[in-house]
A and B are shown apart, each in its own frame.
Chain A
Amino acid sequence: AQTVTQSQPEMSVQEAETVTLSCTYDTSESDYYLFWYKQPPSRQMILVIRQEAYKQQNATENRFSVNFQKAAKSFSLKISDSQLGDAAMYFCAYRSFQGAQKLVFGQGTRLTINP
Chain B
Amino acid sequence: DAGITQSPRHKVTETGTPVTLRCHQTENHRYMYWYRQDPGHGLRLIHYSYGVKDTDKGEVSDGYSVSRSKTEDFLLTLESATSSQTSVYFCAISPPSENEQFFGPGTRLTVL
- Residues of chain A touching chain B, judged by Cβ–Cβ distance below 8 Å, are 4, 6, 9, 33, 35, 43-45, 47, 50, 52, 91, 93, 95, 100-108
B99 touches A105 (CB 8 A): no
* Top 3 A-B pairs, shortest CB-CB distance: A105-B42, A45-B103, A105-B43
Q: How many A-B residue pairs have CB under 8 A?
A: 50
Chain B contact residues: helix, strand, loop or mixed? strand
Contact of A100 with B31 at beta-carbon distance under 8 Å, contacts A43-B88, A107-B40 already known: yes
List A contacts of B100 (CB < 8 A). Answer: 35, 47, 50
Contact of A102 with B45 at beta-carbon distance under 8 Å, contacts A44-B105, A47-B100 already known: yes
In this complex, the interface size class of chain B, counting residues with CB under 8 Å from chain A, is 20 to 34
A44 touches B43 (CB 8 A): no
List A contacts of B35 (CB < 8 A). Answer: 103, 105
List A contacts of B8 (CB < 8 A). Answer: none
Contact of A100 with B42 at beta-carbon distance under 8 Å, contacts A43-B105, A43-B106 already known: no
A91 touches B56 (CB 8 A): no
